[in-house]
A and B are shown apart, each in its own frame.
Chain A
């Protein structure tokens, strides 16, 4: 008996190259600021790199600030293991990202922008610099006083967190700051700053080109538009896919799984593990509990089939966090060490299985008290894995 797999709708907005960039930009820049902001707000676009903050609102808040100096920063730190969609976007359609930055600069009044590029992506620099030079010429033609520079990151995962990124750009150690104040008020050099993910900026170009409605037509309520996913793990077709938001994990597995999928990690190490029994009930988007708080929503989708040990999966995640935590705050620095050592001790029988419950409570504390998204989101993978695969943690 054969069942026909439903093929998920592939979207081709982000990577589609077009030659009329300058015209699109000219049109966009000629619109009044309020109109651009309305377009962005109406599109429903939410950040594709982090907490899913509404992009239009972020731009609006920064535009409203009376400060003279402001900045637009493109976050291209892409540190989430297994994701490389930002790299692809920057190498294939850099002008879309730059255009997004320029329009943002126009409405906020920023005259300076940066691309904070992950250290490992240094090889992109020469090509990117050429693009930027071309783009600056276009801006000169269009009469917009805005310049973009590349800032090469130092390699630490935490530097992708926006406030740690500012610290790092200011020549300090990459440690997240206290919030409030938020970047829209106090960002790079303590000036109002819009910081957006590469993909977010590329989407903003699409919105300006086709209008908010076309973007809204994709996706579901609260999760509008398309998203670039990095699909990896036990799949016959790993790679980068632009898909419409709002699909269920079941739809996704039907399309990308190898027929033996037991779980999918949505949103990378800081996201959630969805077990088979919840595939149909789980929607991939911003509101459904699942990705709503997954950080960063780098779009990593990792597929595990029944040969995988979920203990190993969790062990790897915790190993990653234990090393990549900036180490400044207690719940995250020490919490990660305790979780990692804790599951190992349970596995070896040195701690009773009830110790897992104590660790679950600890992740709750981490979620409530850690200073930044990293420490707060360790609970996601920990609790979803331990709850659903408890036996694998023990035996």
Chain B
């Protein structure tokens, strides 16, 4: 039992747990204190000073986000002094900020804009500091843009990159009036250790960090009568998109999303979940092959644990930070890239369109996917496999621009082929989902029986915990798999690169051994991706997670290998997992990258 502390806020008495901050205590009383540098996901910085409040007996104001409650404390969150100071602080921030709200990507979603509206900052007497600032704008990366003129130096991005992601691509440099957020030697984000995960974007309160937008390019393609525009949608988009269009967190909008995409004018509306199922077939087989080589052939060279490769943020992270482990990465492309390669081969043939006349678009909860689609090796179809990647947020922009009343849409179905998927495919969008989907299939292949969990729900791999471990005892194997008889398959699952770092260190030090590890760059997995709606915290992630599992439960087929279109693609085109053709189209290789 922790001790309770009594205090009063605006004259209202409240008793809260010791260790809470004034801000948290005020929240309990439903008193909102404005904040900017504060974010629930991050450690406390206390640098913006917007959340200052008056404490009786203290001749200074105190930052409520950083000050713990104490017995008998009397707080005023809305005194004249407090209001005047807050107003000053917002005014000051605006003088360093290039005010071009109407031209800003974050217009309408900006915390600074919101605050300045709340405090009615209508006349600005202070001197505009922007003209003397020499701000840099970095638009080189295919995924992330950084515009220092919009930055308020709250360091949320810095803390995100360091704490949540253990990457440290951005840091504070210089002091005084020149203090800014920089990369190594001020290089472009494209030339540093940045993984393109976009968590900095999701945590940025303003338009200083944004995704590179391809909305106009996609509109152009749609308007071009000579091309056939194919769109694929990732699992986590269908449970995130609604938030951006006025629906609550965790609303499932799969059918509406499909309807909207059709109205936007995409020629084929297909599903990344289909290639998620395909990934399971390829990756599952790859894992079993590696296990066989290790256990039967006694091949000591075989790299175990095998690591998933569907999160491009993670892939770039391991390329930078643990290149010695690249052989452990599954050679499978991510579902997006498998889809791209098939769209311009298998699908093109199926609809009888020349591949050069196909424009392949994907809608992703992710910004790293933009980078991934631009990797030079992603051209196995003979063309750029995925032409444009849009985030969930960008899709919402298109839907709004098109004047579609999203809530009113009736559900529609994905086109076929490459539009049918399973519950196993949809759970790719949540941490632990790839593992669960793989186990559902692999276990059944090896034993002929379903995984020994109620309703196929492999609960040990579920939840938002940073590092999860699970093991599954394999018994009653089929004859051809009897080398796995009695083997305890050891797995680990992490989300957020900070946890990937922890896991990799444990593996490196020999503290832990596994057969298979699933690693997602973003907290919560793709549902918490860098391309998903703002704002996000664990409460929102949890709702999105529940929505994904509901989606899984409600699908008629829940195992990848039972997807009829998967059976068909092997029959008609790929032959079998890890076939020559699969290798050519669905697998890839990785490169070692620099450390900074």
Contacts and interface: CB of A to CB of B under 8 A. Distances in A.
Given A158-B175, A345-B127, A365 B67 contact: no
Given A329-B48, A365-B84, A178 B67 contact: yes
Contact of B176 (A333, A361, A368): A333
B340 to A, nearest CB: 42
A47 interface: no
B129 A329 contact: no
Interface in B55-69: 60-61, 63, 66-68
B178 A327 contact: yes
A341 B175 CA distance: 18
A295 B179 CA distance: 23
Contacts of A321: 176
Interface string A320-340: 011111111111011111100
Interface in B166-211: 171-172, 174-179
A370 interface: yes
B175 to A, nearest CB: 5
Interface in A341-394: 341-342, 345, 351, 355, 358, 361-362, 365, 367-371, 376
Contacts of B96: 334, 337
A156 interface: yes
Given A156-B175, A365-B84, A365-B85, A328 B52 contact: no
A328 B153 contact: yes
Most buried by A among B61, B84, B88, B125: B88
A324 B152 CA distance: 19
Interface residues of B, number: 38
Contact of B92 (A158, A331, A341, A371): A331
B129 A334 contact: yes
A316 to B, nearest CB: 15
A171 interface: no
Contacts of A180: 67-68
A328 B155 CA distance: 9
A328 B129 contact: no
A327 B177 contact: yes
A369 B127 contact: no
Contact of A329 (B49, B61, B68): B49
Chain A at the B interface: mostly helix, strand, loop or mixed? helix
A178 B85 CA distance: 19
B48 A342 contact: no
A299 B486 CA distance: 78
A323 B84 contact: no
Contact of A337 (B68, B89, B129): B129
Contacts of A324: 175-176
Contact of A341 (B44, B88, B127, B155): B127
Contact of B177 (A336, A365, A376): A336
Contacts of B66: 178
B374 interface: no
B84 A178 contact: no
A327 B48 CA distance: 11
Contact of A173 (B44, B95, B172): B172
Interface in B26-43: none
B453 interface: no
B48 A336 contact: no
B245 interface: no
Given A180-B67, A330-B92, A334-B96, A369 B176 contact: no
Given A327-B179, A341-B127, A368 B47 contact: no
Contacts of B68: 180
Contacts of B127: 338, 341-342, 345, 351
Interface string B95-127: 110000000000000000000000000000111
Given A178-B44, A334-B93, A334-B95, A370 B49 contact: yes
Contacts of A326: 175-176, 179
B85 A369 contact: yes
A334 B92 CA distance: 6
B508 interface: no
B46 interface: yes
B81 interface: yes
Nearest to A157: B175
Nearest to A323: B176
A390 B352 CA distance: 83
Interface in A290-337: 321-331, 333-337
B178 to A, nearest CB: 7
B52 A330 contact: no
A4 B60 CA distance: 45
Contacts of A330: 47-50, 89, 92-93, 152-153
Given A327-B175, A328-B155, A362 B88 contact: yes
Interface in A154-172: 156, 158
Interface in B487-525: none
B177 A369 contact: no
Contacts of B89: 330-331, 365, 369
B47 A328 contact: yes
A349 B50 CA distance: 32
A27 B46 CA distance: 46
Nearest to B50: A330
- The 6 A-B pairs of least Cβ separation, nearest first, read A327-B179, A334-B92, A178-B66, A365-B88, A323-B176, A328-B47
29 contacts: A156-B175, A173-B172, A178-B44, A178-B67, A180-B67, A180-B68, A323-B175, A323-B177, A325-B175, A326-B179, A327-B153, A327-B177, A330-B47, A330-B49, A330-B153, A331-B85, A331-B89, A334-B95, A334-B129, A338-B127, A342-B127, A345-B127, A361-B84, A365-B84, A368-B60, A368-B61, A369-B52, A369-B60, A370-B49
Given A178-B66, A368-B85, 17 more contacts: A158-B175, A173-B171, A178-B63, A323-B177, A325-B176, A326-B179, A328-B153, A328-B155, A330-B47, A331-B88, A333-B176, A335-B92, A336-B177, A341-B129, A362-B88, A369-B60, A369-B85
Interface of A: 156, 158, 173, 175, 178, 180, 321-331, 333-338, 341-342, 345, 351, 355, 358, 361-362, 365, 367-371, 376
